[in-house]
Structure 1
């Protein structure tokens, strides 16, 4: 018996209520994570500003000269200097970190610096915290991370200095990436192979909804401290998840937590209105009473009632050693095949993130209301997700990933050849933006696909560690993108050339990956290199059904 067998039995219900309820619970976790990542757009917004005047101006003609300097008369001569008496701000926002800590003029880089440090925290969290869920359990690490993040998130709202803001936000980021990755892995481990695509891609809608709801929050709440409290409070709602969020069946089976596995399966079966006979659990009982004997050492017959017939699935599985060897991230480089997959996946995560943020920084800024623009940017990702949901289920994972990346790369390169206007004076800016949005469509599709492939290509025993390390490279890409853009100010076309070339290369390298659609999730490292296990199916008359519909 493996986790796919258990999920297949639970999937015999009519509506799979257990799976979809869990999906929406984890989707909420995914959604609120978006708020912490993007809230800096409003929390760090820089309103109009000018130099403040001194209280006593009787003896001096003192007036602002632009945003960052003043001119005053001294001894019959006009003197210009930096703002000596602080700054005054417009009324676009009640307060932001820029207004509270005077992060303007010579200090204006510090808003972007705080974002860079936040992203570094995300990268570290992916490799330091995410692996803990492989050892201690998905649910436990997820909930503890949410609550710790909630405490530091509330703390962010009460800091009185820029340094304290950066430090507390760093901790929030450290936990936020781990939370998102664990939630995503739990979703992929929740469904059978045949039904995994829809929820694995569909979870990205929660990210889009997060962007749009954040735009609404930003419009309604113009005080950054109040905004921070609002996006953090939902963390504590997850206290209810102690009772209502199940542990991953994949993790329970891989780590031989038979008692909790049996309880989880029975609860899921009750929710899905199916009854599982005790015969289904007999091998779990044997494994629990005899720990030295692995459940994989027996031949398992899974009984699933379908109409008036019973399908008996027999799997011949290789015996396992009595001792379970600890699996580490180094095992991802142990054999040529898993090593090749790992290196290619790491590169794809890096270049997809690099291209996504590269497009973001290189695309001409949309005119209009910043809140509406953010809402639109969330909405435009939905067509890509819908496309993925349709295509990935019908054509697999690898081909769409290659096409999405090549589309993005070509659009990046094509954009740099579009002039600002034609010889006759026709404005080509809309065409440039159209190409950029097609590129964003492609990279959004690639993001959804690479997340799904990462969860499917790495084995359960090291999946969270592998996805966490992959996300580290993702964060390296997002950190690198602004440096490439701003470091090439005198070579305007160079950034898009770099992004386009690297993305096209990534699309070609993706051809080296296996097709994971329709394949059972590998449980351990040897499953990657082993030949497919023999599966035979026979149809027998109904006698002692293991599963019946209530």
Structure 2
């Protein structure tokens, strides 16, 4: 008997399991708030060059004399002062009354400025205002986001090793402590370099906290409940986004905002006493008595008897896995691997790229964020409903294609001179569709591979998708790096085009809903579908054909057990 078989017998989602699951899922909201705080703390407000001889120069003009000096010193184009240039031939003038026309406003040489004043009506302080991340230095925002993503990648690689060696609970609690301390510490940095070091550490701790918390909760649930539980985690991620927006609305200083987002993490330290260690890990380390105590609590909570268990090691027996080289020997598997890898890559690219691009859209950043996150929560709910009722393939292709088209069409209102709100609306609707396609592809993609290569194939796809995390910050900030009339739509266009291409390539993939997963490569190539247990209350599979392959994506090999949320990517 395997552990998942035991969970089916003693209860898959009883009161005790529900409590453990909710406790382990709550950190998702805090991780989401920390991960997306960059949208607010790196906000770049309107700015212009500072006038050296104006004492306490400010962005807003408070007197006629100040207005005269600003007009003399700063180029004025397209209804606003230039953000990055100043005139070279301005001299110190003590009395500026009536001199606005002394110097012509054309044919004057300009140079880049090195001091700025900022519009502080939205945020009193951001990383951009404290460290001058503007103009030629605006690329530093994207680079800082890449550093954070590198920390996330490192965390994904290392946290599993640490969890297997020292336990899920210890790794989770220590990661939570680092997440709390790092979030507080980043509020006191004095340089951009130090901030990036802190963001790398936070990226590592964020990923480790999220994954180990999710694993602690998922490993006590029965396999048929994990898909639903994974979608609930998506909703908690959205709740964290709302919490961030709410706090940012009232706290307009980035340092205090980081503290406010990080302080709730101190409560995660109590999980050392509130959560038990994973019974799966305890058995793997020979701590059978502790593991059986947890399983007995589950059985008692569900009012079911604990079946006799001989050797506990049999609970962890796994079916054999075939290495990835077998994928390359199969033309059909290779085709699926390439298409799925590209599609997961594109979903990650657009999902995170559009999220980071919120700060560049016109309109109120708080309203934009709230609407976007509300639509994302709605997308998670829709995905939860339709996945069991409609085929994966049509839902996936339709939503990815719609998301890509919305992004590409953002250039049309700019060309027609329409309101900038149209671009903002298309961006929001595009992300709504991408959120649905992202939720579908992590399930659909896993169902496309045979049991014995699923782990290695999906692991390869996820590793490739990590490159999109490193690329998306640069795409989101294209508008800051390119001087063009279409610059506001450029990031969305660049991200939307590959989404359309990926959707068209997905037409080559088969439908998987209602079809048993292939057990072997031969089954997949010949179209034979072996029996595989699915979430059916009235149907069961023969013991001899049941397959439960644990892999990094699903924690159980059955397609109905997949529970990964988009945030893990």
Check whether TM > 0.5. yes
Distance in 2, Cα, partners of 1:445 & 1:93 = 32
CA distance in 2, matches of 1:274, 1:253: 23
| Aligned residue among 363, 373, 376 for 1:378 | 373
Could you say which residue in structure 1 is the equivalent of 2:199? Answer: 169
Deviation at 1:16, TM superposition (A): 1.3
Q: Does 1:237 align with 2:262?
A: no
In structure 2, the CA distance between the partners of 1:349 and 1:360, relative to structure 1 (3 Å rule), is same
Aligned partner of residue 377 in structure 1, secondary structure = helix
**Cα distance in 2 for residues equivalent to 1:422 and 1:166:** 35
Q: How does 1:390-409 map to 2 (within 5 A)?
A: 390-394=385-389, 399-400=391-392, 403-409=395-401
Q: CA offset at residue 39 of structure 1?
A: 0.5
Q: Could you tell me which runs of 5 or more consecutive residues in structure 2 were left unpaired when the two chains were aligned.
A: 56-65, 75-81, 93-101, 518-531, 536-545, 559-569
CA offset digits 1:220-275 (Å, max 9, x no partner): 111111111122222221111112123334444556542221011123334x2525
Which segment is superposed worse, 90-99 or 125-134?
Answer: 125-134
1:424-463 → structure 2 map (5 Å cutoff):
437=428, 439-451=430-442
* 1:100-158, Cα deviation, whole Å (9 max, x unpaired): 11222332221222112212222232223334334443323222222122222222111
Which of the numbers 291, 294, 310 marks the counterpart of 1:261?
291
For residues 53 and 295 of structure 2, the distance between their equivalents in structure 1, rounded to whole angstroms, comes to 72
Deviations 1:180-218 (A, max 9, x none): 233334444332233222211111001111111111111
**Inter-partner Cα distance in structure 1 for 2:54 and 2:412:** 50
Summarize the Cα distance change of 1:410–1:189 in structure 2 as closer, same or farther, 3 Å threshold. Answer: same
Cα pair 1:403 1:507 within 8 Å, conserved? no
1:48 to 46, 49, 54: 46
User: Normalising by structure 2, what TM-score?
Assistant: 0.70
Deviations 1:446-487 (A, max 9, x none): 322344568999999999999776554333223334556739
Aligned to 1:178: 208
1:286-305 alignment runs, 5 A limit = 286-287=311-312, 294-295=313-314
Query: Alpha carbons of 1:458 and 1:253: their partners in 2 closer, same or farther (altered >3 Å)?
Result: farther
Task: Please say if residues 48 and 117 of structure 2, whose CA atoms lie closer than 8 Å, have aligned partners that are also in contact.
Answer: yes
1:478-493 matches, within 5 Å, as 478-481=469-472, 483=474, 486=478
Q: Secondary structure at the match of 2:90?
A: strand
Structure 2 Cα separation of the partners of residues 4 and 161 of structure 1: 50
Q: Deviations over 1:483-515 (max 9, x none)?
A: 567399789656533221024324644758974
- Where relative contact order (Cα < 8 A, 6+ residues apart) is larger, the structure is 1
- For residues 270-419 of structure 1, what are the structure 2 equivalents within 5 Å? 270=300, 272=301, 274=303, 276-277=305-306, 280-283=307-310, 286-287=311-312, 294-295=313-314, 331=323, 333=325, 346-357=341-352, 367-394=362-389, 399-400=391-392, 403-413=395-405, 416=408
Q: How much has 1:172 moved relative to structure 2?
A: 0.6
User: Is 1:522 the equivalent of 2:548?
Assistant: yes
CA contact (8 A) 2:131 2:191 kept: yes
- Cα distance in 1 for residues equivalent to 2:115 and 2:350: 42
Distance 1:438-1:227 versus aligned 2 partners, 3 A rule = closer
Write the distance in 1 (CA, Å) between the matches of 2:54 and 2:413.
52
Distance, in Å, in 2 between the alignment partners of 1:247 and 1:345 is 34
Matching residue of 2:564: none
Alpha-carbon shift at residue 33 of structure 1 (Å): 0.8
Does residue 437 of structure 2 align to residue 420 of structure 1? no
Say yes or no: does 1:73 pair with 2:90.
yes
> Could you list the per-position Cα deviations for residues 64-96 of structure 1 after superposition, in whole angstroms to 9, with x for gaps in the alignment?
413333445349977744435554553422211
> 1:233 and 1:466 mapped to 2: Cα distance?
39
Q: TM-score if structure 1 supplies the norm length?
A: 0.73
Residue among 103, 106, 124 paired with 2:136: 106
Give the Å deviation of 1:365: 6.8
Secondary structure of 2:401's counterpart equals helix
Pairs aligned (count): 482
Match of 1:203, SS? Answer: helix
**Deviates further, 229-238 or 46-55:** 46-55
Q: 1:266 to 1:364 in 2, by over 3 A?
A: closer
- Equivalent residue of 1:501, what SS? helix
- Which structure is higher in strand share? 1
Judge conservation of contact 2:396–2:441 (CA < 8 Å) in 1: no
